[in-house]
Amino acid sequence: MAQLNIENYSSHKSANPPTYDLSKINIGVIHMGLSAFHRGHQGLYFERILRSGNLNFGVVGVTQRSSDVADVMNTQNCLYTINEREGAGFAPIIVGAIRKAVFFPHARQELLEIARSENLKLITLTVSEKAYQCNPTRDGINLSSADVQADIADINSLLTFPARLLDLLFARFESRMPGVAVISCDNLPTNGDITRAVVVDLANKQNRTSDFLSWLKSEIRFPNSMVDRAVPAITQDSIDEFYQSYGYEDRSLITAEPYLEWVIENDPVSEYLAPVGARFVEKVAPYEAMKIRVFNGAHSALAYICQLAEIEYVAEGVVDPVIGEFIKNFQEKEAGKSFVAPADLDPIEYAKIIRKRVSNYALLHKSLQIAMDGSQKLPQRIFASTNDLVKLGLSTDHITLVIAAWLRFLEVNEKVNDPLADSLQNLVRNPDALQSTINTLSFEGLATKVDPKLFPQIANWLAELRTKPVKNVLQSLKS
């Protein structure tokens, strides 16, 4: 099988290859967390800038916990394809924007050089919700390989992403280069403010000089941002299917929905990103609330319900009459009413578009993938809305059932992919549904606590889910 690489990419005309000169690209962006989401989302914005003729927006993608993704990308000179899929349609584009893919502990010196360079404009992040909790023993990596021995003293103090980010920013400070924007692209409300807080907090803990601290506060911008595009994990079947149609193998293939959105708080980088489709606004918070509560909240709700109903893909769940109706009511009657919507958007219309997007079966978005890391996602996707509904005196019938579905998911699965899985699964496995609810939802590791007034309602749903098929429980709500 011919694998995509620098020698052959331009011959794959039907996959829309770059026509700019790859050798002339300068690195202008450091991206931490080389996820599929980054490649399918921000990677496309940077590609559009390059295609518009500005070759100063090459990206160095940094992996954090293992070199795996970088290794695969390096077997194809970091070229990869984004294949937009809807129905039977394929719309590929070969992306050249990522010019380097490296593993932080192996490439620290090179990254420090880039951090000091004049052309650096932006540091972007997709490090996932849990990374902002900064637990070095959990997020760290095992550094025993010989090639990092020389750097080991420094690297040992550089296990978390804030420590690494601070390391890069300090190099920039020392080189007296102008500040840059650091843009978090993780699904967290006020993601920019949180990033600033963890970095400044760490700088204080490390007793950094007051000069550096004031430079950090005045020169480094942390605009909040809202990102949107479904980019599921790729499967070998999709890679094979793509090969059959396009005649080359892409081991770094990305399948994505056609929808693409990036809303960023006003920042000088709008000069480059606005012309390629990013939206700049004064306040991101209302857009973020809408996206996280009405889209991601529904996504998580579907994920747990599908898991309990043994439905593999969320697209199958959302078109099921019983589950689809439940999700619609969850969005329209509860999640969509829990916050003040952006002035230019109607939550009901928005929710309808989301259900349509989620029903895109060609994405093969697995309910199990979305169900992972629930303890890191539900606080902002579900618990915050729940508490706001209580404050507003509105119905919580659907949202409490979603919380119970998560508890049941934790309870019945032997292995759950979640940093708090061990503790939570231990707590939830209590025959008394109320005790199980109280113990699990009061666990100290959860960033937001659900209002205890709702524990009996959640426990009732949990008791129902313990004895009846999930769809029967959803139906009982309807009648």
Residues near ligand CS2 (CB under 6 A):
187, 228-230, 296, 299, 369-370, 377
Q: What residue number has its CB nearest to ligand CS2? A: 299
Question: Whose Cβ is closer to ligand CS2: residue 369's or residue 460's?
Answer: 369
Least Å distance between CB 220 and ligand CS2? 26
DSSP β-ladder status, 122-125 and 181-184: parallel
Least Å distance between CB 428 and ligand CS2? 20
The CA distance from 463 to 478, in Å, is 18
Question: Whose Cβ is closer to ligand CS2: residue 257's or residue 464's?
Answer: 257
Least Å distance between CB 316 and ligand CS2? 16
Strand arrangement of the beta sheet that strand 279-281 belongs to: 225-228, 261-265, 279-281
By C-alpha distance, which of 28, 34, 67 is closest to 50?
Answer: 28
Question: Whose Cβ is closer to ligand CS2: residue 187's or residue 380's?
Answer: 187
Question: Whose Cβ is closer to ligand CS2: residue 369's or residue 423's?
Answer: 369
Half-sphere exposure (Cβ direction) of 80: Cα atoms closer than 13 Å = 33
Question: Whose Cβ is closer to ligand CS2: residue 167's or residue 334's?
Answer: 334
Question: Whose Cβ is closer to ligand CS2: residue 269's or residue 298's?
Answer: 298
Least Å distance between CB 46 and ligand CS2? 18
Question: Whose Cβ is closer to ligand CS2: residue 386's or residue 437's?
Answer: 386
Question: Whose Cβ is closer to ligand CS2: residue 228's or residue 250's?
Answer: 228
Least Å distance between CB 184 and ligand CS2? 13
Decide: 125 and 86 in contact? Cβ < 8 Å.
Answer: no
Least Å distance between CB 250 and ligand CS2? 21
Beta-ladder partners of 63: 103
Question: Whose Cβ is closer to ligand CS2: residue 270's or residue 369's?
Answer: 369
3-state secondary structure the chain: CCECCCCCHHHCHHHCCCCCCHHHCCEEEEEECCCHHHHHCHHHHHHHHHHCCCCCCEEEEEECCCCHHHHHHHCCCCCEEEEEEECCEEEEEEECCEEEEEEHHHHHHHHHHHHCCCCCCEEEECCCHHHHHCCHHHHCCCCCCHHHHHHHHHHHCCCCHHHHHHHHHHHHHHCCCCCCEEEECCCCCCHHHHHHHHHHHHHHHCCCCHHHHHHHHHHCECCCEEEECCCCCCCHHHHHHHHHHHCCECCCCEEECCCCEEEEECCCCHHHHHHHCCEEECCCHHHHHHHHHHHHHHHHHHHHHHHHCCCCEHHHHHHCHHHHHHHHHHHHHHHHHCCCCCCCCCHHHHHHHHHHHHCCHHHCCEHHHHHCCHHHHHHHHHHHHHHHHHHHCCCCHHHHHHHHHHHHHHHHCCCCCCCCHHHHHHHHCCCCHHHHHHHHHCCCCCCCCCCHHHHHHHHHHHHHHHHCCHHHHHHHHHC
Least Å distance between CB 37 and ligand CS2? 6
Question: Whose Cβ is closer to ligand CS2: residue 116's or residue 279's?
Answer: 279
Question: Whose Cβ is closer to ligand CS2: residue 77's or residue 296's?
Answer: 296
Is the backbone of residue 354 left (phi > 0), alpha (psi -120 to 50) or beta? Answer: alpha
Least Å distance between CB 286 and ligand CS2? 17
Least Å distance between CB 114 and ligand CS2? 28
Least Å distance between CB 314 and ligand CS2? 9
Least Å distance between CB 372 and ligand CS2? 8
Decide: 25 and 19 in contact? Cβ < 8 Å.
Answer: no
Question: Whose Cβ is closer to ligand CS2: residue 234's or residue 370's?
Answer: 370
Least Å distance between CB 292 and ligand CS2? 8
